Amino acid sequence: MVAFDNHVASNVNRVRRFFVQELAQRLYECTDNPTTPRDKVDWSCADTHTDLCLDSQTTLDLTRKFLVLSAYSELRKTRSDLPFVNFFDIGTSSIFQHRKEVERAASVVDRLSNEEFDVLFNSVGYDQRQEYMRQFLGRDVWEIGYQTIRRREDFLKDHGYTRIRFG
């Protein structure tokens, strides 16, 4: 589907930016760093680590996951015939789990015409998109981003972090 591929291409940077922003927030909440203000150091560290832990294929997979689950959620608002998919479980597990549920949602979304997908996706406002990102990608930030960075003590020390408080 051309429309879907176009939306993937146009949302890759948005998904990456969300990943960096959420990872920076996790660093702020879960680590100690005497630098003030913290925002620049947390953002810089999250951005650098994201470059190291998210290859282009994983970023594309995350973007596809976000788009498929967002589109399916929007479709379910108007189509009661669509089966329930437990998105809570999908959002609280990593990208590599619950493939069957994501594939089921993708099979429905794949049947949309280019125009239908464009209308559907473009009707979702900014706030709702952000909520979908948090819902569907939040666990990926925790697993792929934070859980790997917290094991890189030298990397964290190089960025001024002194202690991991949680995680």
pLDDT in tens, 5-24: 889 999 999 999 999 999 99
Whether the per-residue pLDDT at 99 is higher than 90: the answer is no
Q: Where are the beta strands (DSSP E) in 98-145?
A: none
Percent of the chain predicted with pLDDT > 70: 90
User: Could you tell me where the DSSP H helices lie in 31-125?
Assistant: 38-53, 56-78, 87-91, 99-109, 114-122
- Domain of residue 110, residue span: 2-164
Phi first, then psi, for residue 163 (nearest 5°) are -160, 140
User: How many structural domains compose the chain?
Assistant: 1
pLDDT computed for residue 96 by the predictor: 47
